[in-house]
Chain A
């Protein structure tokens, strides 16, 4: 019955992406191409990040939290943001409304992230006889990551694609974008520096992702209203 468990965890990890695509108007406007292009851009940024990490980072023997290394990792993490910028602005999309564009890009981004980071451990680990909660927690983390990606894409599109924004909201937008972009560093600090266990970290990620999604939604709605 272990293939069963793999099947369950796979549904948990990749199901929400498919559900998101079919439930929202994305499927009606056939934005699959955009998502696939965003996934490919993610692949490219992942390779660039890999090369940078391999060149600049040194491997530490113990699993402690080294601030200098974490800062370096965060800086390299901004390559992610650059990639997202590229996906949002430079790729030629067909005539899609802006709020569908960011959703499609965010979805493709999150799907590529899940496949690259979670499919291999799932395939190798969840099929064995031994049962652990790890893969279910990983699936929940994938869900949180989906929400994060869409929020980041939304904030990104607000920053780069919308030209007329209410002046008061701009700092808030930038602040939220920075928080969401540095999420990986924050979670690794929690895990290593404070020594939180995996379930606690996943719970924190889930909570923060919902909060961030709510805030981004409000910001987006606020910017939708024509200014002045």
Chain B
């Protein structure tokens, strides 16, 4: 009997040690079997001359809460899920300004802003609602970009799973029981490493050269006309900054103009006596840093031979008025000539072109328009844009609201016609005549499907410059397209100016778990414990009799009695 008990005890010991080993293994293994996994996009994190902006953290592991939280609740371990439809900007502004602690923010954007949305969202019903949403999101974007937020901020698109989770969270919050470790609820987990600085981000400028007709009598260099557009964007969520209008429309227009002029210049009979230089520059949002470096790299002769440069910026969503922004006064002869060309063509096409003059302040590092970089190096230039006022730093740079939904190809087609005809008039010397070179039914007609396909492609490609590597496929695609249309293409790699520093990690996957509270687990343990005890007593009573059960609890006293 004793040896049997000893053997049993040995077996029990070995089982116990096995269980201990098992629990040790448990701590080493990490699992992920969430009910919902969603793609989320992180708020940008950057420094301007050392001052931090944007969201400084990426890792997230907190309970979900909604805007209906009970007043005075402690939110330092809660992630607020806010659909932008229900957003109250002033509340958020106060919250961030007062630096109140928060576990994290998750903004839910309507599917309208998604570039992966394959539905035909170009129908114009619900125009008012979408305009209101657009202004709310634009305001939110500006607020977040210029704040220093010490907790993670993510953007996600609404879909059925997340909507269901949000409805549940709202319900439990309305009851007055915010989700914490002791009450259960939903847990949002993003496992991401610490965001690291991007060292020496490169900006790439691509230029295409279309040489003019040089006859034997010409001793000096032919004059040049430059057409420039910046192709990179900046927004609150770099993985979503597709910038369909700023400056996708400019890029598409530039490519189409290149295609048309390459057709004209392919035949020596129709080749003009001007060289045409096409420039796709990067670093636009950062005071047109790339344009400056590109111009600095020019040969002195080339720079002097530029008659004028036209910069294209946001020409995709206007109705009947465009603006030409210049930095030299309107009385200047060159400016007068450019403006005359453009306005006469515009009249023929049925819309207006206005002239706006903005003086450059050399001591101010802020460069609001691309033509200002040209003007600083004494090259005549103008920017064609639908915007009336000069944008501030990091404004109108193709952020969240700039999606395909809000751009119309007709506007771009008309802009292309305007620029192409005006240039042709200058190159071929048709002053004041009403001749249409790029007429609609000719072989030189503007190709709508070319514009549409490039616009669609650009609206699916986020283009924030620090996150585009040197040989990024997008940059290579632009280069190849210019090579098709021009004679000679050069690619210039530069390092972005030291004033801006960026941090990586723009995209992550969010796992949403439904967790049970600790009280539930404890309750379950209690229930199971009592169940096993009841089972034990039942079995003892039925197989050995009630006396045995009582004797199990009374053994120690009886032994004492025996020894005494």
A joins B in a complex: yes
Q: Residues on A close to B: CB < 8 A?
A: 1, 3-8, 11-12, 15-16, 19-20, 22-25, 27, 30, 32, 124-125, 127-131, 136
Question: Is A23 touching B33 in the complex (CB atoms < 8 A)?
Answer: no
Question: Is A130 touching B35 in the complex (CB atoms < 8 A)?
Answer: yes
Sorted nearest first, the 7 A-B pairs with minimum C-beta distance are A23-B539, A129-B513, A131-B516, A128-B33, A24-B543, A128-B31, A130-B513
B9-38: CB near A (< 8 Å → 1, else 0) gives: 001000000000001001001011111000
For chain B, which range describes its interface: under 10, 10 to 19, 20 to 34, or 35 or more residues? 20 to 34
Question: In the complex, what residue of chain A is closest to B3 when comparing beta carbons?
Answer: A30
B458 at interface by CB-CB < 8 Å: no
Question: In the complex, what residue of chain B is closest to A26 when comparing beta carbons?
Answer: B543
Question: Is A1 touching B32 in the complex (CB atoms < 8 A)?
Answer: no
CB B449 to nearest CB in A, in angstroms, measures 43
Cα of A166 to Cα of B553 in the assembled complex, Å = 41
B4 at interface by CB-CB < 8 Å: yes
Max chain A Cβ within 10 angstroms of own Cβ: one of B11, B31, B181, B518: B31
Question: Is B513 touching A16 in the complex (CB atoms < 8 A)?
Answer: no
Cα of A66 to Cα of B374 in the assembled complex, Å = 78
B482 at interface by CB-CB < 8 Å: no
Question: Is B536 touching A19 in the complex (CB atoms < 8 A)?
Answer: yes
Question: Is B26 touching A3 in the complex (CB atoms < 8 A)?
Answer: yes
Residues of B within 8 A of A15 (CB): 528, 532
B184-208: CB near A (< 8 Å → 1, else 0) gives: 1001010000000000000000000
Q: Residues on B close to A: CB < 8 A?
A: 4, 8, 11, 23, 26, 29, 31-35, 181, 184, 187, 189, 513-516, 518, 521, 524-525, 528, 531-532, 535-537, 539-540, 543-544
Cα of A25 to Cα of B8 in the assembled complex, Å = 15
Question: Is B514 touching A130 in the complex (CB atoms < 8 A)?
Answer: yes
Question: Is B26 touching A127 in the complex (CB atoms < 8 A)?
Answer: yes
Residues of B within 8 A of A136 (CB): 524
Residues of A within 8 A of B521 (CB): 1, 4-5, 8
Main SS of chain B's interface residues? helix
Question: In the complex, what residue of chain A is closest to B187 when comparing beta carbons?
Answer: A129
Question: Is B540 touching A23 in the complex (CB atoms < 8 A)?
Answer: yes
Given A1-B518, A8-B525, A16-B532, A130 and B26 contact (CB-CB distance below 8 Å): no
Sampled A-B contacts (27; CB under 8 Å): A1-B521, A4-B525, A5-B516, A5-B521, A5-B524, A7-B525, A8-B521, A8-B524, A11-B525, A11-B528, A11-B532, A12-B531, A16-B532, A19-B532, A19-B539, A23-B540, A23-B543, A24-B539, A24-B540, A25-B543, A30-B4, A32-B8, A127-B31, A128-B31, A128-B513, A131-B515, A131-B516
Cα of A103 to Cα of B223 in the assembled complex, Å = 104
Question: Is B540 touching A129 in the complex (CB atoms < 8 A)?
Answer: no
CB B202 to nearest CB in A, in angstroms, measures 40
CB B509 to nearest CB in A, in angstroms, measures 15
Cα of A12 to Cα of B526 in the assembled complex, Å = 12
Cα of A19 to Cα of B543 in the assembled complex, Å = 13
Residues of A within 8 A of B514 (CB): 130-131
Residues of A within 8 A of B4 (CB): 30
CB B479 to nearest CB in A, in angstroms, measures 47
Cα of A130 to Cα of B187 in the assembled complex, Å = 9
Question: In the complex, what residue of chain A is closest to B540 when comparing beta carbons?
Answer: A23
Residues of A within 8 A of B11 (CB): 32
Question: In the complex, what residue of chain A is closest to B513 when comparing beta carbons?
Answer: A129
Cα of A125 to Cα of B443 in the assembled complex, Å = 66
Question: Is A125 touching B26 in the complex (CB atoms < 8 A)?
Answer: no
* Additional pairs, 12, CB under 8 Å, beyond known A8-B528, A20-B535: A1-B515, A4-B525, A11-B525, A15-B532, A19-B532, A23-B543, A25-B543, A124-B31, A129-B189, A130-B514, A131-B516, A136-B524
Residues of A within 8 A of B184 (CB): 131
Question: Is B26 touching A19 in the complex (CB atoms < 8 A)?
Answer: no
Residues of B within 8 A of A23 (CB): 535-537, 539-540, 543
CB A218 to nearest CB in B, in angstroms, measures 13
Residues of A within 8 A of B35 (CB): 130
Question: In the complex, what residue of chain B is closest to A130 when comparing beta carbons?
Answer: B513
Cα of A185 to Cα of B525 in the assembled complex, Å = 33
CB A202 to nearest CB in B, in angstroms, measures 15
Question: Is B515 touching A19 in the complex (CB atoms < 8 A)?
Answer: no
Given A4-B521, A129-B515, A131-B514, A20 and B528 contact (CB-CB distance below 8 Å): no
